[in-house]
Every structure is written in C-alpha cells, then in structure tokens.
Amino acid sequence: MQVIETIAAFRQVRSRYTGLGFVPTMGYLHEGHLSLVHRAKEECGAVAVSIFVNPTQFGPNEDFAGYPRDPKRDLELLEKEQVDLVFTPSPGEIYPPGSTTVVEVGDVTEMLEGAARPGHFRGVATIVCKLFNIVQASRAYFGQKDDERRAAVVLYRALTAAEKHFGAGERSSEALRRIMHDTLATEPQADIEYISLADRDTLRELDRVPPRGALASLAMRIGKTRLIDNCILEK
C-alpha cells in the first residue's frame, strides 16, 4: 500500500494502474467505509482511498477542528484490506492560497440537508470534483449515510416503522411521514428538524410513493447533537 500526500506524486503513481476503484473518505474509518473498499476491490481490482477532512463542507457553526481523526488506525485498517493507494493531502495541497474555484450544483442541493446546511454541498461537490480529477478512477463508491451517527436508535426505529407500513401497502406520504413522526415523538429529547418522503432523484416531496419507491429521510437534534438518517423505500 502506498500512502501519498501530494497531487504530483499521486498522478505519477496512479499512471501505473488501469481500472482504479475510488473510495473518498474523511477518515475515522468504520465498517461502512470498509464495505465500500471490498466492493471496489471486487469490481475494479485496484483501489484508491482518499482521507481528507474537507474544511469547505463545514459551516461556520460546525466543528471542523473537532471532527474525529485517527490517521494511524485508518492506515492500519486500509493496509489489512490491501488497498493499493491512499491519498492523504493537506488542506493547503487541495486549496492552495488564493484558490477560489467552487462547484455549485443547483436544485437538489437546496433541499433536505442542503436547506439545513447552506454551503455544505458546495464544499462536497468542490472536493469530489477535485478528487475525481486527481484520482482519475473508473468507478467511485460513496456510502448512503453516516454510520457514525447511527447511535440514535430512534431514527432507525422511525425508518423501520415506515418500511414496515410501506411493505404492508401504505403509499400515502402523509401517512408515512406521520408514522415516522409518531416514532420520533416517543423520544422526549428529540427536537425534529425535518421528516421527508421525497423523490429519489429530484428530492422533491411526494404526495404518494410511486412504484419505483422513494427516499425517506430524517433530521433531528438531541441536545447539541444533530442526527440524520435515511433509507430507500422500495419493493
């Protein structure tokens, strides 16, 4: 496994590979990340992982400095998985002084998490675009949710309740939102931010769940901690 810190060095080493699978991460790796690495390995053979806590996707009230980091453990885990390349740039390597170019994706980034965290997806789209340009992968692998926050069992219970009723034939979005709401409301400390049942691609709220299913997503606060989770409702 090669651990590379600069763009120039990464480009040089990368040219030896064809068909690279790429897993972008912010480190502090867990099972979710490793499952993406397995999949990349199966489908592409060679795998590159980036570890970069991207400052531009954190809002002014979000704790960039406090984001958990454990680079030593991350590298040990990736070594065990026989990852080929690990890219660990510094913030200055990715955002040199004076860099002002950003990637703005309209519409879908203004809803749900985008509405709650203005500027977040500008930061995500910008770093992902930069990493894609550097890594030049054939395929990239992203997780669907932040496992680190799954501790909030009530979110999981709310989504499971929605899945159960959906499985039993419920298609009214209002009814499914109410089911999720009622489950969240059993947690007295939960301060609900949004309960959404939206189209899987456009993220627009739905009146009824169409045959191809929908994205159910939730955000709430317990004390100072903000928790999110989501699932796809499909047959």
Question: Of the two residues 57 and 183, which places its CB atom closer to ligand PAF in the complex?
Answer: 57
Residue 131, token pair as written in the block? 């990493």
Long-range contacts (CB closer than 8 Å, 24 or more residues apart) made by 29-36: 29/73, 29/74, 29/77, 29/78, 30/147, 30/148, 31/147, 32/143, 32/145, 32/147, 33/143, 34/77, 34/81, 36/141, 36/142, 36/143
* Nearer Cβ to ligand PAF (4/128): 128
Task: Confirm or reject binding of residue 26 to ligand PAF (CB under 6 A).
Answer: yes
The one segment of 22-30, 172-180, 186-194, 213-221 that binds ligand PAF by CB under 6 A: 22-30
Return the axis-axis angle of helices 120-135 and 7-14, rounded to nearest 10°. Answer: 50
- Smallest separation (angstroms) from ligand PAF to the CB of 120: 9
**CA 194 – CA 182 distance, rounded (Å):** 13
By CB under 6 A, name the one of 22, 44, 49, 54 that touches ligand PAF: 54
Q: How many residues does the chain have?
A: 235
- Interaction pattern, residues 103-132, with ligand PAF; x per rule: CB under 6 A: ---------------------x--xx----
| Phi, psi (deg, nearest 5) at residue 191 | -110, 105
Report in angstroms how near the CB of residue 164 gets to ligand PAF at its nearest: 28
**24-32, 41-49, 72-80, 97-105 -> range binding ligand PAF (CB under 6 A):** 24-32
With binding defined as CB under 6 A, does residue 88 bind ligand PAF? Answer: no
Indicate the DSSP class of residue 87.
Answer: E
Farthest CA pair distance, the chain: 56
Phi and psi of 199, rounded to 5°? -60, 140
Kindly indicate which of the ranges 8-16, 20-28, 60-68, 155-163 contains the residues binding ligand PAF, using the contact rule CB under 6 A. Answer: 20-28
Q: Does 33 qualify as catalytic in the annotation?
A: yes
Q: Shortest gap between Cβ of 180 and ligand PAF (angstroms)?
A: 23
Given the residues 30, 33, 165, 181, the one annotated as active site: 33
Contact present, 154 and 184 (Cβ < 8 Å): yes
Q: Which is nearer to ligand PAF, 24 or 159 (CB)?
A: 24
Positions annotated as catalytic residues are: 33
**By the criterion CB under 6 A, which residues form the site for ligand PAF?**
24-26, 54, 57, 124, 127-128
